[in-house]
Amino acid sequence: MSERMAYFQGQFMPLSEAKIGIMTHAFLYGTACFEGLRGNWNQDDGTLYLFRTKEHYQRLRRSSMILGIKLAPSDDELCDITAELVARAGFTEDVYIRPIAYKSEEAIGPRMHDVADDFLCFVIPFGNYLDDQGIRCMTSTWRRVDDLGIPARAKVNGLYINSALAKTEALENGFDEAIMLDDRGHVSEGSGENIFIVRDGKLITPPPSDNILEGITRDSVITIAHDEFGIPTVERSIDRSELYVADECFMTGTAAHLTAVIEVDRRTIGSGLPGDVTKRLHGRYYDAMHGREEKYAKWLLPVKPQVAGRQGVKA
């Protein structure tokens, strides 16, 4: 039987039993950083494929270093914890895994020093986050946070109020997702996704200097575009109006996978349907993350869900 599970205070337990106190520093001040990982279920071989697990933990460690949070387990240990957690949960469907490095002490006062640290992780079932057939976006009135305010290249829990405000604004105005500009008016990213446009056969995407999160799915798509289709990627600043005249547009992220953008600010992008480049990249990425592309097996951590009376974690 499948169950939502957590790894909390060094133990595996049902998610319902993993509790923090209301004075926990991370709850009071957002003093935590996190990752989001996908486990993609392949019915044919009965395996959940965790996508680029080690790279996610390497980024979590970098985020922790920026914030001054001590992440005690090694990257390999974190991968092993995650694989066992997913196996114990027993899900035979797509899942989402949320690891968090956080200030765990019950303490008053906004600071990063002299406060105890800990690590937790949980897994839940998780289907499509955005519509596979394409989404409608608006450019948000909320600007993407600047690195001088909150480190943009770290996945800081408290930073995501920026994303929440932009996402809610978009939904309340009848759109599916927000696109945030940076403090100079350049396109930065969505509320939880990186953004690409296609022009003249090239992918164009904002550079890290435009306050984007350096996305792992973003990097995967750039790799697939180059290796599989010979499509180059240009990292440069993008103006808002350039979105309107793009041949194609799409977003990438752990939750979103690769999702076509078919409208921005009520302007149709291309034909108003997912474009050819977007569809080709989506297809190859989808096969890679489900363990159907041997070339990209190095990106995957296969896990066999446990069933009653059977142990074993990694496939």
Q: Which residues form the catalytic set?
A: 155
**31 Cβ partners below 8 Å, 6+ apart?**
25, 67, 69, 102, 103, 110, 112, 115, 157, 158
CA dist 293 and 287 (Å) reads: 6
Q: 110-135 burial, b for 16+ CB within 10 Å, e for fewer? A: eeeeebebbbbbbbeebeebbeeebb
Report which residue type is found at 245.
V
Q: Can you tell me whether residue 299 is helix, strand or coil? A: helix
Q: How many C-beta atoms surround the C-beta of residue 106 within 10 A?
A: 15
CA dist 111 and 274 (Å) reads: 46
The sign one gets for the Cα dihedral 109, 115, 116, 122 is positive
